Amino acid sequence: MDKMPKWADVVLIPLISLLLAAILSALVILAIGENPAEAVNLMVTGALGSTYGWGYTLYYATNFMFTGLAVAVAFHARMFNIGGEGQAMLGGLGVAIVCLYVDWPHWSIALLAACAASMMFGAAWAAIPAYLQAKRGSHIVITTIMFNFIAAAFLNYMLVNVMRPEGSMDPATARFSETVHLPTLHELLAPIGINFSKAAPANISLLVAILACFVVWALIWRTRLGYEIRSYGKTETGAVYAGISPVRITIVAMLISGALAGLMAINNVMGEAERLVLNSTEGAGFIGIAVALMGRSHPFGVFLAAILFGFLYQGGAELALWTSIPRELIVVIQALVILFTGALDNMVRTPLEKLFLSLRKGSA
């Protein structure tokens, strides 16, 4: 009873939505008196034309892979986790505690510990909204929004009143020690003879993110838990009939989601800043929503969409540098992508379904 082939659903609809978003963005650029073709050109050379540009693109993409996966896992259980931002902030706190207060012999052990801590902190921050949704029926969207603000206030308190080094005015922790410095792509690629830019922040977290994509894929499509999450997301009553506990799935899916969002901190806190600063997440938690929608909640889709948004982010920064187009253009593009791939999905889907239906009738 499929109205249209699967490839159209998976590839065609996101591409049309992206095209619509791109056309509208081009109109916006035109309206503020700049040349869209030139802007695209600048973005491509700035983000993909050098290893420096690639280094930034991949750095941003790493963040978005984690947050995109986080939103995607919750989507599979039919939950909308807007709290990625707060969970990632708390993940940052976990990383900072691990890196500041423990003396690590080697970065690799520190990375493992930081992964564990960030996932734990992120999951813990998702746990209360998850519990309230599962047990008390409090809408997860509202509670996770509230928890974003609570996280921001909490982090502000921790950085200003507790973790700020003596005598420093800056609301940030001290720098992490040299031993927990994560190898950048430059350091990773130099031994095999590739000269990658030294200044770019992309680091080994990228590999962790790709690994996370595989793990999430295996979890969702190759394990019993993943099956339970998907069937709960598809039909709750059916899942309950099959003996799947809604409370358990809601909580477990949100914990995984929160852990993935928290894990982002190994990239932005440990890999890039090497200390915890205010607003270290820079909205990456929200971009995860666009990435998950664009990637159709599939880890490979999330991977591609994250790189696309990494490109947009780095390209947007270059645009702001060389033209009078401010960085906020990216926010507009992000909004349009969310709008077309998420909210206005039926606007694209319905005509397309009709088209495929009439094509089928014609051939039959």
User: Which residues make up the interface to other proteins (CB under 8 A)?
Assistant: 28, 31-33, 80, 82, 128, 132, 136-139, 141-143, 145-147, 149-150, 152-154, 156-157, 160-161, 286, 289, 293, 324-326, 328-336, 338-339, 342-347, 350
Q: Which is nearer to other proteins, 100 or 332 (CB)?
A: 332
The residue type found at 266 is I
Q: In the structure encoding, which two tokens stand for residue 267, read together?
A: 């990239």
Q: Closest distance between other proteins and the C-beta of residue 243, in Å?
A: 27
From the centroid of its chain, how far is CA 215?
16
Q: Which is nearer to other proteins, 154 or 217 (CB)?
A: 154
Q: Closest distance between other proteins and the C-beta of residue 317, in Å?
A: 14
The residue type found at 214 is F
Q: Closest distance between other proteins and the C-beta of residue 278, in Å?
A: 12
Contact by Cβ (8 Å): 184, 161:
no
Give, in order, the Cα–Cα distances in Å from 182 to each of 40, 59, 99, 187, 268.
33, 13, 11, 9, 11
Q: Closest distance between other proteins and the C-beta of residue 75, in Å?
A: 10
Contact by Cβ (8 Å): 338, 253:
no
Q: Which is nearer to other proteins, 161 or 237 (CB)?
A: 161
The residue type found at 255 is L
The kind and range of the H/E element at 250 are: helix 246-263
Q: What angle do CA 94, 98, 101 make, to 5 degrees?
A: 125
Q: Closest distance between other proteins and the C-beta of residue 88, in Å?
A: 16
Give, in order, the Cα–Cα distances in Å from 42 to each of 47, 60, 304, 308, 330.
8, 18, 21, 15, 14
CA–CA separation, 56 vs 313, rounded Å?
9
Q: Closest distance between other proteins and the C-beta of residue 132, in Å?
A: 5
Q: Which residues contact 189 (CB under 8 A, 6 or more apart)?
A: 195, 196
Q: Which is nearer to other proteins, 189 or 331 (CB)?
A: 331
Q: Which is nearer to other proteins, 15 or 343 (CB)?
A: 343
Q: Which is nearer to other proteins, 197 or 297 (CB)?
A: 297
